[in-house]
Amino acid sequence: MYCATLAMHSIQPGLLANLVQTPTLSSSNPHRLPSTVAREDEHLLVAAAKGGDAAAFEELVNRYERKIFRLTMNITRNREDAEDAMQDAFMKAYSHLDKFHEDSRFYTWLVRIAANEALMRLRKRRPNQISLDEPIETDDDFIPQQIEDWGPSPEQRFAQTEMRDILRGVIEELTPDFRIVFVLRDVEGLSTEETAEAVGISEAAVKSRLLRARLKLRQKLDRHFRKGVKQ
Amino acid sequence: MNCDGVVRRISNYIDGDLEVSVVEEIELHLKTCRECTILVQQTKLTVTLYRDSDLVDFPKEVQLRLHETVRREIRRQKRAT
């Protein structure tokens, strides 16, 4: 409702704080959203934040904090680094709001900042284990060897907590270069172009790594889901 | 198209990122290849499972520290201007 109200007014600092239902940082309503959805009013919050409305920026933090932490955790696999990367990402976003062009999504811009922060920390911690700048092209390591039916739906065969443990264990086995592309594309819902920009590789490399990441994950899940492994 | 061709295009096929003629070739192959059909289904399911599962907890203390940091930064910048 307040979208329509705001659309009729030029946004003044403070106005949004009076209209948004949760104008200050709040832990009770984490605003969980599907990855591919940015709320329609995002640009209004950004415009208000740019105009100096701190509450509007805090609302953006509320909205995306979980998703950004999930992203930095998925990249770094280290809680301390993930937290630092998330904090720095939000602080940089606030400091550089004037440089944000509103023809793109704020969330995508924020993800790029957070991915860069997380990647910097990952590179520092594991300088020899990732090669994010050059495509990794080998043809021999992802062709499935043996395909077998997984039987009845794995989602119904495994309890939710058990499924989470399996998925978490399997994705941790992926090397960072594959994991990052998979997380940005398939978990966070970025486009190929946005992922390429965030990671600093070509779109062709994104597609190549995504193919391999998906097939590797399928192969690893096969150990758990293959018919007969669990009744 | 053979199995190898399907495997190499499976990701773009799932994403709907292929020419119509290539999609038709893949689907013609899938009609007669059980293994590739299973592979497509399982790869799609893999993506769906990860997309729909939130595997990372967001601890309360991490959230509180973030809020504190953001508020401090906002105050600092307001003072600076």
**Residues in chain A within 8 Å Cβ distance of B12:** 207, 211
Give the pLDDT confidence score for residue A128 in this predicted structure. Answer: 61
Domain span including residue B30: 3-80
Query: What topology is assigned to A2-125 in CATH?
Result: Rna Polymerase Sigma Factor; Chain: A (1.10.1740)
Task: Please answer yes or no on whether A57 and B70 come within 8 Å at the CB atom.
Answer: yes
Q: Which amino acid is at A172?
A: E
Domain locations in chain A? 2-125, 154-225
pLDDT (tens digit per residue) in A6-55: 333 333 444 444 434 333 444 443 333 333 445 668 888 999 998 889 99
CB nearest B56 (choices: A27, A70, A217):
A70
Token pair for A214: 């998906």
Residue A133 or residue B47, greater confidence = B47
Assess contact for A208 and A137: CB atoms under 8 A.
yes
CB nearest B60 (choices: A27, A90, A163):
A27
Assess contact for A2 and A11: CB atoms under 8 A.
no
| Crossing angle between the packed helical segments A203-225 and B34-52, to the nearest 10 degrees | 100
Gap between the Cα atoms of B74 and A178, Å rounded: 36
Signed CA dihedral, A218, A178, A76, A102: sign only? negative
Give the pLDDT confidence score for residue B8 in this predicted structure. Answer: 92
pLDDT (tens digit per residue) in A133-188: 444 455 555 667 778 888 778 888 888 889 999 999 999 899 888 999 999 999 98
pLDDT (tens digit per residue) in B16-28: 999 999 999 999 9
> A154-225 is classed in which CATH architecture?
Orthogonal Bundle (1.10)
Contact status of B58 with chain A (Cβ, < 8 Å)? yes
Give the pLDDT confidence score for residue A29 in this predicted structure. Answer: 39
**Residues in chain A within 8 Å Cβ distance of B73:** 90-91, 94-95
Token pair for A210: 């995504």
Beta strands in chain A (DSSP E): none
**Residues in chain B within 8 Å Cβ distance of A225:** 42
Phi-psi region of A73 (alpha: psi -120 to 50; beta: other; left: phi over 0): alpha
Nearest in space to A184 (alpha carbons), one of A134, A113, A126: A113
Gap between the Cα atoms of A23 and A38, Å rounded: 18
CB nearest A87 (choices: B42, B50, B69):
B69
CB nearest A86 (choices: B11, B42, B66):
B66
Gap between the Cα atoms of A63 and B76, Å rounded: 22
Contact status of B72 with chain A (Cβ, < 8 Å)? no
Token pair for B5: 């061709």
Token pair for A22: 């949760």
DSSP string, A152-184: S-HHHHS-HHHHHHHHHHHHHTS-HHHHHHHII
pTM of the model: 0.77
Query: How many residues would you count in chain B?
Result: 81
Gap between the Cα atoms of A29 and A37, Å rounded: 17
What residue in A sits closest to B33 (Cα-Cα)?
A147
Gap between the Cα atoms of B54 and A36, Å rounded: 14
Distance of CA A6 to the CA centre of its chain: 29
Distance of CA A194 to the CA centre of its chain: 11
Residue A113: pLDDT over 60: yes
Query: Which of A170, A211, A216 should we substitute to test contact with B (largest number of B Cβ atoms within 10 Å)?
Result: A211
**Residues in chain B within 8 Å Cβ distance of A66:** 54, 58
Residue A223 or residue A136, greater confidence = A223
**Residues in chain A within 8 Å Cβ distance of B42:** 147, 150, 218, 221-222, 225
Task: Please answer yes or no on whether A87 and B66 come within 8 Å at the CB atom.
Answer: yes
Helix (H) or strand (E) holding B51: helix B34-52
ipTM, 2 dp: 0.89
